[in-house]
């Protein structure tokens, strides 16, 4: 089965995120707890008002799967619901026309390393 | 049957002060109804007299130029224009008029049950004053407008002692203290005694417990050394550096040099200008306790600023910070140590002083971690959710020991619905701020803070420590 990894909805006012880093490459096997990627939300709000609600998150896998295709790129923006990656429950499963569902994952707000 | 009464000015005080005022700016539109407690209007005022020995309200570069008095309705009714009084423009900003008792400033249409009231019995005075960051920060276009490093409002009620509550939190607190209408009107509304509310914004300094401790312990020599350091930072900026960064440095220095928890306050009363303070109650926010702080490498003082302010600095100021400050990881245990030291210091000469702390909202965002094994330990320095939970637990642990009162923002947010009352995950909507304000007032009343002790208020809903 194909597993679609998408940008989660963080808060109803925060839809745009920036991909800070990827924790996997195509072909990797991920297990529950494995780091998939890190992203920051709220950057679009920074242009709109003071005290922007900027928060960094780490997304981890909640199931065993294989990374088949990476859409997300470091430094790029994405919106809630956008596809980040395609995973599969079997390593050699065809990416064409297979049954799919959303990948099971978890996110946690993290403290980013400081500027210097 | 409604009756029109001319609204007349009462004397502001019985002393020998000469008081000038601007024209009134009306908050209620003519013909629109208002209720008791509503802001009717306000004007700028200036106290004139010998400056020597008369305090901040008389000093041009302190509070004299941002002093206002508002009229708060005691009755229901609506305002009616007086055709002969033409204000607007600078008439409503500059203090061109003498404050004269019995001056008619507007007509008020009231219901029959209030028709017996005298024309000067329709309103209460509500005073507002702001201390500008700089004389350049001039903005007298509205109620409490301008860039102030300290804003305060007060009302005179029964009883001689004025109770003062000081807000020293992050962005979540000023609107709770100052209210949606601005000017502290909602917080001070309905107080039976003499009350004052003070707001110190987190611009640019965030008042963590460590910052408050250092402000209280700082010697004159240490202040001078810090001043030299900031002056050097500005002086060494290369040509073309952003002058906005110099303002940042100057505002940081100004905030570091002050001790808001020790401030006294001049207030205008019926008997003239009196001095009150320091604050009887201080409201803090646990969200002020960042996990990483800037500390000066040589002098050792902390400079707590929001990261987004640091990130917005120009390259020269950023390089100066990098060269002279280091990031220090700050654990929950460090915060616990600071809170115990801070409460001891704040109560050293004021044993009755109350300290209220807004806790953190835990249920923010969408976090569903199944395993913490892949996150770096200690988790309070890598995961925000763990840190805020540990901070909230720490507050409970020390509440009995320190006597602090926890304002349970977390419980209130959960009750109201987090995604509704905190839409962006940080900033509360009006409903939550109203609930937090009510809770703070209940705690102040329960702890018998002068002026705020009101029998009509309910017991605090969320307070956790023994009263």
Which residue range is the domain that position A56 belongs to? Answer: 2-110
Convert the pLDDT of each residue in A4-38 to its tens digit. 999 998 876 668 899 999 999 999 999 999 999 99
Q: Is A32 in Cβ contact with B424 (below 8 Å)?
A: no
Distance (Å, rounded) from C-alpha A1 to C-alpha A7? Answer: 20
Which residue of B367, B375, B387 is in closest CB contact with A107? B367
> In this structure, are residues B2 and B109 in contact, taking their beta carbons and an 8 Å threshold?
yes
State the ipTM, two decimals: 0.84
Place of tokens 């305060």: B152
Number of structural domains chain A divides into? 1
User: How many Cβ atoms are within 10 Å of B410's Cβ, its own excluded?
Assistant: 21
Domain ranges for chain B: 3-146, 160-202+270-290+350-467
Nearest Cα residue in chain B from A13 = B424
Proportion of chain B above pLDDT 70, given as a percent = 94
In CATH, what number is assigned to the domain containing residue A72?
2.40.50.100
Give the C-alpha separation, B177 to B166, whole Å. 9
Contact B33, B77 (CB under 8 A): yes
Q: Given A14, A53, A108, which is nearest B367 (Cβ)?
A: A108
Residue A115 domain flag:
no
Calpha distance B190→B428 (Å, rounded): 24
Q: Do A53 and B419 touch (CB under 8 A)?
A: no
Residue-wise burial string across B307-333, b where 16 or more C-beta atoms lie within 10 A, e elsewhere: eebbeebbebbbbbbeebbeeeebebe
**What's the DSSP call for residue B219?**
-
The answer to whether B126 and B43 have CB atoms below 8 angstroms apart is: no
Chain-centre distance of CA B3, in angstroms?
39
Greater confidence (B68 vs B181) lies with B68
- Inspect the interface and report whether the beta carbons of A53 and B385 lie closer than 8 Å: no
Taking an 8 Å cut-off on Cβ atoms, the answer to whether A108 and B375 are in contact is: yes
Q: What is the DSSP string of B123-181?
A: EEEEEEEEEESSTT----SSTT-S-EEEEEEEE--EEEEEEEEEE--STTTHHHHH-TT
Give residue B53's pLDDT band: very low, low, confident or very high (50, 70, 90).
Answer: low
Instruction: Specify burial of residue B376 (Cβ count, 10 A radius: 0-12, 13-18, 19+).
Output: exposed
3-class SS of residue B402: helix
Q: What is the pLDDT of residues B310-319, one digit of tens each?
A: 988 999 999 9
Tell me the fold of B160-202+270-290+350-467. Answer: Rossmann fold (3.40.50)
Order across the sheet with A105-110: list the strands. Answer: A77-79, A16-22, A35-41, A55-61, A105-110
Query: Per-residue pLDDT tens for B387-443?
Result: 999 999 999 999 999 999 999 999 999 999 988 999 888 889 999 999 999 999 999
- B322 in contact with chain A, both atoms CB, cutoff 8 A: yes
Lowest mean pLDDT among A80-94, B80-94, B132-146, B262-276: B80-94
Asked whether the beta carbons of residue B426 and residue A110 sit closer than 8 angstroms, the reply is no
Residues in chain A, total: 116
Of the candidates B391, B403, B393, B411, which has an alpha carbon nearest to the alpha carbon of residue B466?
B403
Domain membership flag for residue A99: yes
Contact call for residues B3 and B97 (beta carbons, < 8 A):
no
């Amino acid at each position: 089965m194909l597993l679609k990894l998408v940008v989660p909805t963080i808060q109803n006012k925060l839809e745009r995120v920036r991909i800070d880093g990827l924790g996997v490459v195509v072909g990797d096997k991920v297990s529950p707890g494995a780091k998939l990627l890190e992203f920051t939300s709220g950057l679009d709000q920074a242009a709109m008002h003071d005290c922007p609600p900027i928060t960094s998150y780490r997304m981890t896998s909640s199931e065993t799967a294989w990374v088949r295709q990476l859409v997300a790129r470091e430094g790029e923006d994405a919106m809630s619901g956008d596809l980040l990656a395609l995973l599969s429950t079997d390593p050699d499963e065809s990416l064409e026309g297979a049954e799919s569902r959303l990948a099971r994952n978890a996110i946690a707000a993290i403290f980013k390393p400081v500027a210097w | 049957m409604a009756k029109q009464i001319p609204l007349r000015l009462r004397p502001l005080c019985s002393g020998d002060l000469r008081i000038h005022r601007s024209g009134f700016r009306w908050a209620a539109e003519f013909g629109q109804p208002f209720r008791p407690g509503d802001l009717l209007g306000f004007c700028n005022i200036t106290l004139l007299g010998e400056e020597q020995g008369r305090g901040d309200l008389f000093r041009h570069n302190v509070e004299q130029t941002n002093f206002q008095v508002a009229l708060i309705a005691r009755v229901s009714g609506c305002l009616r224009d007086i055709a002969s009084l033409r204000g607007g423009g600078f008439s409503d900003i500059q203090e061109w008029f003498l404050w004269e008792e019995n001056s008619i400033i507007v007509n008020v249409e009231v219901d029959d049950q209030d028709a017996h009231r005298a024309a000067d019995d329709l309103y209460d005075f509500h005073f507002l004053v702001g201390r500008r960051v700089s004389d350049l920060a001039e903005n007298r276009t509205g109620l409490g407008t301008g860039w102030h490093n300290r804003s305060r409002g007060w009302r005179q009620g029964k009883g001689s002692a004025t109770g003062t509550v000081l807000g020293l939190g992050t962005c979540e607190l000023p609107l709770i203290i100052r209210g949606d209408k601005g000017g502290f009107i909602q917080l001070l509304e309905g107080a039976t005694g003499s009350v004052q509310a003070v707001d110190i914004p987190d611009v640019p300094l965030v008042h963590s417990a460590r910052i408050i401790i250092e402000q209280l312990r700082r010697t004159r020599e240490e202040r001078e050394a810090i001043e030299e350091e900031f002056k050097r930072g500005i002086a060494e900026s290369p040509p073309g550096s952003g002058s906005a960064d110099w303002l940042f440095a100057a505002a940081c220095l100004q905030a570091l040099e002050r001790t808001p928890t020790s401030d006294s306050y001049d207030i205008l009363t019926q008997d003239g200008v009196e001095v009150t303070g320091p604050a009887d109650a201080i409201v803090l926010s646990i969200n002020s306790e960042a996990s990483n702080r800037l500390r000066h490498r040589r002098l050792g003082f902390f400079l707590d600023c929001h990261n987004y302010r640091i990130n917005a600095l120009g390259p020269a100021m950023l390089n100066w910070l990098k060269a002279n400050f280091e990031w220090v990881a700050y654990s929950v245990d460090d915060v616990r140590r600071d809170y115990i030291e801070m409460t001891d210091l704040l109560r050293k000469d004021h044993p009755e002083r109350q300290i209220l702390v807004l806790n953190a909202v835990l249920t923010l965002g969408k976090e569903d971690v199944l395993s913490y094994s892949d996150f770096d330990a200690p988790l309070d320095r890598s995961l925000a959710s763990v840190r805020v939970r540990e901070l909230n637990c720490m507050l409970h642990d020390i509440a009995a020991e320190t006597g602090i009162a926890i304002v349970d923002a977390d419980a209130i947010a959960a009750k109201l619905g987090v995604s509704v009352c905190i839409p962006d995950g940080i900033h509360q909507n009006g409903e939550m701020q109203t609930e937090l304000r009510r809770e703070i007032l209940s705690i102040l009343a329960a702890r018998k803070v002068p002026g705020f002790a009101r029998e009509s208020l309910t017991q605090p809903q969320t307070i956790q420590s023994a009263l």
